[in-house]
Amino acid sequence: MKVEVVKSDDEFLEVKFDEDAHTILNLIKRKLLDNKKVTFAGYNKPHPLINDSTLIIRTKGENPKTVLKEAVKELQEELKSLML
């Protein structure tokens, strides 16, 4: 899966995924919204026949790239705990 940062600043991040990433983006979005420093997290798939998806994060006083990395790490740990 190829990931490209489209736009980034101190409190905003827009990331484009080149594959249909609905499932993983939904998990990431939900984890991000659990963080009180995140004011907005959402993703968009512009059309069912287009594989690209975009994740958008807006934070309050926190680097959105750092927040995204933390959310992904937390998800990895949660998924590892499901392995028997």
Return the half-sphere exposure (C-beta side, CA atoms, 13 A cut-off) of residue 7.
Answer: 8
DSSP string, 11-38: SEEEEEESS--HHHHHHHHHHHHTSTTE
Q: Which token pair is 57?
A: 């994060």
Which tens digit of pLDDT belongs to each residue from 23-64? 999 999 999 999 999 999 999 998 888 889 999 999 999 999
- Residue-level pLDDT at 68: 98
Domains identified in the chain and CATH numbers:
3-82 (3.30.1360.10)
Rounded Cα–Cα distance for residues 13 and 78 (Å): 24
The DSSP 8-state label assigned to residue 10 in this structure reads S
Residue 1: predicted pLDDT: 83
Q: Is the pLDDT of residue 82 over 80?
A: yes
13-28: pLDDT as tens digits:
999 998 878 899 999 9
**pTM of the entire structure?**
0.89
